[in-house]
A and B are shown apart, each in its own frame.
Chain A
């Protein structure tokens, strides 16, 4: 560990400073490209309708500043509720995708048993075909289970949707864990459950963080299943809420931009929280 920390320091002297500037330059330009559209939404959300169209890139001034969009959004819809729904669905699905995905990945990479290859292929297929194609059957199923218009239905669908990719990525990482670690534990008569929960899981944390981020995005942003499975009052997710709001007030750009801003903020907060986990996971260097 000590070695690793000192060597780069020495190296950095070798790096020319001009190169550093160039690297920062490239990264800054790209960061600008990535953020500019978000910036445009946010500044315009705080302007009057006329000002938006006059000069979309101008910052709000005392003359053009207006919160009317936010007032209308908060008055006309239940954003806090939508937000809570999205949070519950996303976190719950995420937890189960990570746990069940890691368990399946472990079983498939660690043990030889009949049907192993078949199950592995079954999961691999899931990456290739969008679950949306099975909408009608899923709806029938949920209707039989009496789960229509519940968040539980959404969570179940998102677990099924997230598992294939989680199994695929986590398998890749579990395969890289040195055999000796597990063998040593087995020699000490450590149970298979314990090996998984205390040795394997901590070692694949970077992968878990990565899978978490990739699983979270489509769930948070999904429009389709909330529309089909939980469109009722009180069960809308934030993406559906915003979409319906935009549909309803499409020409009222103050409200639309305010709604978009309110929809962006929670995702960014969520991401910042996970980003910490992600960084810690990535830099813990477990697999190194």
Chain B
């Protein structure tokens, strides 16, 4: 037969694969916890710092951090939960995505977990049922929005951190006219920055933080109201200061442009700090979103972003609870917040943050009123989802394809299609 060589190789391979199949099914030992997470950026910190620290206290429980790329996390996790093959500990997205996992019976209620007492109700609010009866994930960290700037460029051009909007746009203008640096480093190609680092970053100042967020949920305010349209009006003024070709600029492009020293100001989330620490060879600082002229109170987005829950189908729930209790400890809070500057522990422990920029972000909590992203609670539950709409319209406003009024009208009409308080 002419195809013998191929066939021979095939049989050899079959033997090999069988061997691999057999050897890999037997790994599920008694106390082996697998963590599902989208934070693949943090793999190293988990395996080199956090898990060894846990094993110092509990050497008998093995822990494996098994991340999925962020964009595939929700879909891969839901497939694995349905197939009964997901890990023991599940990293929770805030609000409805995790709530729906809980409602479908994939997450264990955590009310009886000792460590939950270390978290305030506000911290727990993103992972609680609508009636407040059950908590299903233990809060881990929040992230804060603001602007990160290149200190060397600011010194070179003699610039100061802006407090008000006029100062902010004057500053951008100065950078644009007096230097070759990109004033505002952000792109619209990946879409989410427009909503997250644009709309949710500067917006709370206009809709008065929590007050506006709650009124939006109750239906007392509409997105078409003046204060929301003004956010997009603000954003539409960014376009001239963004880099050439920002429509094709991706998130990683922006990070690279900034860390290579080609841009002055970067609309940021505090989660960018670890990346910048590693890659920027200049000093950088941060300022909170400039307030509209004449407004005294500043509002910041201090967003509850990440938590940890237990897979209801896990065979190691006891160990999983031990791990969660350890995660509620002072040790973990300190370890995590300092290993990943920019992710701020949500526990009530007093901890010291060593990173200066992360400290700066944290200090705004005393200075400003805090809120979370207004599209996250309830309002993205139906179709169309408000969050998806915000991505889309904010990009279009920044690209000059849509007026602020139309952007507001589209989001409001989306809400009115399924959400009673807005009908």
Chain B proximity mask over A156-170: 1 for CB below 8 Å, otherwise 0: 000000000000000
Instruction: Knowing A88-B17, A235-B24 are in contact, say whether A95-B10 is a contact too (CB < 8 A).
Output: yes
B83 touches A150 (CB 8 A): no
Distance to closest chain A CB from B16 (angstroms)? 6
CB nearest to B16 among chain A residues: A88
Residue B417 at the chain A interface, CB threshold 8 Å: no
Which of A32-40, A173-181, A241-249, A261-269 binds B?
Answer: A241-249
Residue A227 at the chain B interface, CB threshold 8 Å: yes
Which of B74-82, B197-205, B293-301, B325-333 binds A?
Answer: B74-82
Partner of B13 from the list A53, A95, A142, A253 (CB cut-off 8 Å) is: A95
A248 touches B24 (CB 8 A): no
Residue A47 at the chain B interface, CB threshold 8 Å: no
Partner of A91 from the list B9, B41, B66, B256 (CB cut-off 8 Å) is: B9
CB nearest to A94 among chain B residues: B10
Q: Which residues of A contact B (CB under 8 A)?
A: 49-50, 53, 76, 88-89, 91-92, 95-96, 99, 135-136, 139-140, 142-143, 146-152, 155, 197-198, 201-202, 205, 208, 227-228, 231-235, 243-244, 247-248, 250-253
Chain B residues near A142 (CB-CB < 8 A) = 83
CB nearest to A95 among chain B residues: B10
Chain A residues near B66 (CB-CB < 8 A) = 231-233
Chain B residues near A232 (CB-CB < 8 A) = 24, 27, 66
Chain A residues near B64 (CB-CB < 8 A) = 233
Distance to closest chain B CB from A196 (angstroms)? 11
A150 touches B25 (CB 8 A): yes
Q: Top 10 closest A-B pairs, CB basis?
A: A139-B83, A95-B10, A247-B69, A150-B21, A152-B21, A251-B255, A148-B85, A92-B13, A248-B40, A250-B252
Q: Can you name 21 A-B pairs with beta carbons within 8 Å?
A: A53-B256, A92-B13, A92-B17, A95-B6, A95-B13, A136-B82, A146-B25, A148-B85, A150-B25, A151-B17, A151-B21, A152-B17, A202-B1, A202-B2, A205-B2, A228-B79, A232-B24, A234-B24, A244-B69, A247-B70, A251-B252
Chain B residues near A208 (CB-CB < 8 A) = 3
Chain B residues near A228 (CB-CB < 8 A) = 76, 79-80, 83
Distance to closest chain B CB from A234 (angstroms)? 6
A149 touches B85 (CB 8 A): yes
Distance to closest chain A CB from B315 (angstroms)? 14
Q: A140-B83, A152-B21 are in contact. List 16 more A-B contacts (CB 8 A).
A: A49-B260, A50-B260, A53-B256, A88-B13, A92-B10, A135-B79, A136-B79, A143-B85, A148-B85, A198-B1, A201-B2, A201-B3, A208-B3, A227-B68, A228-B79, A251-B259
CB nearest to A140 among chain B residues: B83
CB nearest to B250 among chain A residues: A250
Distance to closest chain A CB from B23 (angstroms)? 9
CB nearest to A149 among chain B residues: B24
Instruction: Knowing A231-B68, A251-B279 are in contact, say whether A88-B1 is a contact too (CB < 8 A).
Output: no
What CA separation (Å) do A251 and B185 show in the bound complex?
15
Chain A residues near B256 (CB-CB < 8 A) = 53, 251, 253
CB nearest to A141 among chain B residues: B83
Residue B157 at the chain A interface, CB threshold 8 Å: no
What CA separation (Å) do A83 and B80 show in the bound complex?
25
Chain B residues near A95 (CB-CB < 8 A) = 6-7, 9-10, 13
Majority secondary structure, A binding face: helix
Chain A residues near B252 (CB-CB < 8 A) = 250-251
Chain A residues near B279 (CB-CB < 8 A) = 251-252
Chain A residues near B67 (CB-CB < 8 A) = 244
CB nearest to A247 among chain B residues: B69
Chain A residues near B260 (CB-CB < 8 A) = 49-50, 53
Distance to closest chain B CB from A82 (angstroms)? 13
Distance to closest chain B CB from A185 (angstroms)? 16
Majority secondary structure, B binding face: helix
Distance to closest chain B CB from A200 (angstroms)? 12
A251 touches B76 (CB 8 A): no
Distance to closest chain B CB from A226 (angstroms)? 11
A150 touches B20 (CB 8 A): yes
What CA separation (Å) do A140 and B81 show in the bound complex?
10
Residue B84 at the chain A interface, CB threshold 8 Å: yes
Chain A proximity mask over B369-387: 1 for CB below 8 Å, otherwise 0: 0000000000000000000
Chain B residues near A91 (CB-CB < 8 A) = 9-10, 13
What CA separation (Å) do A156 and B82 show in the bound complex?
20
CB nearest to A142 among chain B residues: B83
Residue B97 at the chain A interface, CB threshold 8 Å: no
Residue B129 at the chain A interface, CB threshold 8 Å: no
Residue B348 at the chain A interface, CB threshold 8 Å: no
What CA separation (Å) do A152 and B256 show in the bound complex?
41
Chain A residues near B20 (CB-CB < 8 A) = 88, 150-151, 235
What CA separation (Å) do A71 and B64 show in the bound complex?
25
A139 touches B85 (CB 8 A): yes
Distance to closest chain B CB from A112 (angstroms)? 27
Distance to closest chain B CB from A130 (angstroms)? 15
Partner of B1 from the list A50, A96, A148, A197 (CB cut-off 8 Å) is: A197
What CA separation (Å) do A235 and B1 show in the bound complex?
34
Partner of A152 from the list B2, B9, B18, B70 (CB cut-off 8 Å) is: B18
Chain B residues near A151 (CB-CB < 8 A) = 17, 20-21, 24
Chain B residues near A248 (CB-CB < 8 A) = 40-41, 43
Distance to closest chain B CB from A252 (angstroms)? 8
A136 touches B83 (CB 8 A): yes
Distance to closest chain A CB from B363 (angstroms)? 27
What CA separation (Å) do A99 and B252 show in the bound complex?
45
What CA separation (Å) do A201 and B2 show in the bound complex?
9
Partner of B76 from the list A92, A99, A147, A227 (CB cut-off 8 Å) is: A227
CB nearest to B20 among chain A residues: A151
CB nearest to B78 among chain A residues: A136
CB nearest to B261 among chain A residues: A50
Chain B residues near A96 (CB-CB < 8 A) = 10
Distance to closest chain A CB from B345 (angstroms)? 23
